[in-house]
Amino acid sequence: MDVGLQSFITFLSILWFFVYWILGGVFFAVMAILRLGRVRKVRFSCLFSILAAVCAVGAAYFGVYTAKSSILSCTLSATSNVQKKVAIIGCGFSGIMEAFLLGALVLTLVGFLIMAISKSKARPWIILDQEEQEAHDARVLEEQINVSDASEIPGSKSKFF
């Protein structure tokens, strides 16, 4: 692999990591706020950062090699210098962008899987629905009553031990 191609892959990997990480992070933060609420944020963010880096490097390598083969086939059919330059830019850009979109798709699908793995039973930090708030308060009250009833019976075990 030549040095120019390797430096281009490195540049694309870094650029796409930041794009995936920022846009994907915003997307999944909105998803957590709107409905999926209870997520262990540290676990999710660590796994998501690693996933974003892997997707960025994979998409950069795949995109450059796809573009390289596409450029070779496009330049063979070009007859003039202008057609060759247009073929290089057009065919190369399409291969790289297809890989970028494929990486974004993988990041989104596996991000939902990571979000499911990172679920928490703790109370969400934002509750948008009043009925959900009332149901949560009722569950907490019921748990407190059950714990206080069990503590009155001598020799009974706590649900935590």
Per-residue pLDDT, 11: 92
CA distance 67 to 8: 12
Per-residue pLDDT, 94: 85
Per-residue pLDDT, 1: 62
Per-residue pLDDT, 121: 67
Please list, in sequence order, all residues whose beta carbon lies within 8 angstroms of the beta carbon of residue 44, skipping any fewer than 6 positions away: 28, 114, 115, 118
What is residue 120's DSSP assignment?
Answer: -
Chain centroid offset of residue 35 CA: 17
**What is the pTM assigned to this prediction?**
0.67
Q: Is 106 within 8 Å of 131 (Cβ atoms)? A: no
Q: DSSP string covering 81-104, please? A: HHHHHHHHHHHHHHHHHHHHHHHH
Q: Is 58 within 8 Å of 103 (Cβ atoms)? A: yes
Per-residue pLDDT, 130: 67
C-alpha distances out from residue 42 to 28, 45, 48, 58, 158, Å = 13, 5, 10, 24, 30
Per-residue pLDDT of the chain (161 residues; tens, 9 = 90+): 678 788 889 999 999 999 999 998 888 888 877 765 566 778 888 888 999 999 999 999 999 988 888 888 888 877 888 888 888 888 888 889 999 999 999 999 999 898 888 776 665 556 666 676 677 777 777 777 765 555 555 555 555 55
CA distance 143 to 82: 75
Q: DSSP string covering 104-119, please? A: HHHHHHHHHHHHHHTB
Please state the domain extents for the chain: 3-122, 123-153
Per-residue pLDDT, 44: 81
Per-residue pLDDT, 146: 67
CA distance 64 to 97: 10
